[in-house]
């Protein structure tokens, strides 16, 4: 069984959508810690691809809430995991803040060479959308679990096993939304729709606009995750959605 553990600070009073985005950041930072970057290609070693495949097939996510930065850092350091530092643009009064971390999932963390590109180097906005159905009450632990599962499952779709069978690869075209998403700091936003039918309809609308999505079902709660998309190309689908 492949298990991902999220460690989330609950002393920061983050809104639910913010917490979802931070959980997704932590999961993706763990993913990128295993990825190699060679020119315009991202590659994941085949044994780590298999670990990700096992997780996507049977996702298990544990969420541990802690009440301080020190507790977060101690746990993540003990397990050789990855931490997330929020820049504070939308919360925390502009102060960079450790929000959460992740460990597990892969056999060994921290072996990749992909560059975590600095924020704000591209003027073209690209974003990943985490969209929840409000049919059921959104519990914070479930929201964190779904965000991590959704993002990892969506990126798994982008990977293709190489001809030599040693890696799984993803193209990083400089004109792509994925490329500008990385340049702009892996932006994510948590939104919501009124019910499950609206979520399924929205997934169809994204598909009509050539944006791949994943719907995650967690004990009857539904969430849609998009691949990174240019904001200007999907704003007509997202502008009226409610922030959570």
pLDDT per residue as tens, the chain (244 positions): 789 999 999 999 999 999 999 999 999 999 999 999 887 899 999 999 999 999 999 999 999 999 999 999 999 999 999 999 998 888 888 899 999 999 999 876 445 555 544 444 557 899 999 999 999 889 999 999 999 999 999 999 999 999 999 999 999 888 999 999 988 888 999 999 999 999 999 999 999 999 999 999 998 999 999 999 999 999 999 999 999 9
- Domain extent listing, the chain: 3-105+119-243
Question: What residues does 189 pair with on adjacent strands?
Answer: 129
Which token pair is 214? 């994943």
Work out the mean pLDDT of the chain and round it to a whole number: 91
Q: Write the CB contacts of 216 (distance below 8 Å, at least 6 apart in sequence).
A: 146, 149, 150, 153, 222, 223, 224, 225
Question: What residues does 30 pair with on adjacent strands?
Answer: none
Backbone torsions φ then ψ of 33, nearest 5 degrees: -65, -15
Angle of helix 140-158 relative to helix 46-57, nearest 10 degrees? 130
For 44, half-sphere exposure in the C-beta direction (CA atoms, 13 angstrom radius) is 29
The edge-to-edge listing of strands for the beta sheet with 3-9 is 60-66, 3-9, 97-104, 82-86
For 238, half-sphere exposure in the C-beta direction (CA atoms, 13 angstrom radius) is 25
Are 33 and 137 within 8 A, CB to CB? no
14-25 residue pLDDT tens: 999 999 999 999
d(CA 144, CA 20): 5
Question: What residues does 3 pair with on adjacent strands?
Answer: 60
Under CATH, domain 3-105+119-243 is a member of which superfamily?
Bit1 (3.40.1490.10)
Q: What is the DSSP letter of 117?
A: P
119-155 residue pLDDT tens: 445 578 999 999 999 998 899 999 999 999 999 999 9
**Short-list 139, 235, 130, CA closest to 191:** 130
**Short-list 63, 31, 61, CA closest to 159:** 31
SS (H, E, C) 23-85: HHHHHHHHHHCCCEEECCEEEEEHHHHHHHHHHHHCCEEEEEEECCHHHHHHHHHHCCCEEEE
Which token pair is 213? 């999505």
CA dihedral 164, 168, 173, 174 (to 10 degrees): -120
């Amino acid at each position: 069984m492949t298990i991902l553990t999220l460690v989330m600070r609950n002393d920061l009073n983050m809104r639910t959508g913010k917490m979802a985005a931070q959980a997704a950041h932590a999961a993706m930072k763990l993913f990128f810690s295993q990825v190699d970057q060679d020119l315009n290609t991202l590659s994941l070693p085949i044994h780590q691809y298999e670990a990700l495949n096992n997780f996507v097939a049977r996702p298990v996510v544990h969420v541990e809430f802690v009440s301080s930065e020190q507790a977060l850092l101690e746990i993540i350091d003990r397990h050789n995991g990855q931490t997330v530092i929020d820049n504070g643009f939308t919360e925390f009064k502009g102060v960079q803040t450790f929000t959460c971390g992740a460990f597990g999932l892969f056999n060994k963390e921290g072996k990749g060479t992909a560059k975590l590109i600095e924020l704000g180097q591209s003027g073209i906005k690209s974003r990943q959308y985490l969209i929840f159905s409000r049919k059921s009450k959104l519990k914070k632990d479930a929201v964190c679990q779904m965000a991590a599962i959704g993002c990892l499952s969506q990126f798994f779709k982008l990977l293709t096993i190489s001809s030599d069978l040693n890696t799984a690869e993803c193209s990083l075209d400089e004109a792509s939304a994925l490329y500008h998403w990385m340049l702009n700091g892996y932006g994510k936003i948590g939104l919501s729709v009124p019910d499950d039918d609206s979520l399924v309809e929205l997934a169809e609308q994204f598909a009509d606009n050539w944006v791949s999505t994943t719907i995650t079902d967690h004990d009857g709660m539904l969430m849609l995750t998009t691949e990174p998309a240019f904001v200007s190309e999907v704003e007509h689908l997202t502008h009226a959605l409610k922030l959570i």
